[in-house]
Structure 1
């Protein structure tokens, strides 16, 4: 399963729609198989959301997210976990055991 976290200076970005890159992490049985940064210079929220859908990710862990993107992800049965702030590795480690 692949998850995405919006990145801002080594931390989870406070807003999904303001990031320029995502950390994409592939997890298998609670272990990280692969992780990489996906650049996202696109400012259009629809194109940004569709880019993650095409990866494809199953989970998005973020701080806050706009309603349009949230509904788009939910309509495609993606899990969106909001209210997450802090260093990327700390947030990722916290959620790692739940996937």
Structure 2
């Protein structure tokens, strides 16, 4: 099974649609057997679901994510764990051990025209992207 994590300098990147890299983990029997960092090559938002599908990803760990991307991932059969923060490797270890802290209701609403910031999460926290 392949797990992807939105990735930025070792941590879970907080805006799915703007991620420039994923860390991809190959997992067998709840153990990571390989991992690599993959550039998105400029793909963003809805196109990222197809990008992950082509890589054979079945699970995604991320921070904030918009409704359109959620739908595209769902249509692609990719299981989603949003609202995750912190170290990417630790997040995957937590998922494999059944202890991942995530928020299934996390959304990223970036439709604030003319603004540098947008709201990520459902509590109004700014993710700064």
TM-score, structure 1 normalization: 0.90
Question: Could you say what the CA RMSD is over the residues aligned between the two structures, in angstroms?
Answer: 1.3
CA offsets per residue over residues 1-30 of structure 1, 9 Å max, x none?
001001112100011112110000010111
Gaps in structure 1 of 5+ consecutive residues: none
More helix by share: 1
- Counterpart residue number, 2:16: 16
Structure 2 unpaired stretches of 5+: 99-129
Q: Which runs of 4+ in 1 moved over 3 A?
A: none
Number of equivalent positions: 98
Higher relative contact order (CA 8 A, sep 6+): 1
Does the aligned pair in 1 maintain the 2:19–2:44 contact within 8 Å? no
> In structure 2, how many angstroms separate the alpha carbons of the residues matched to 1:53 and 1:43?
13
TM-score (norm 2): 0.71
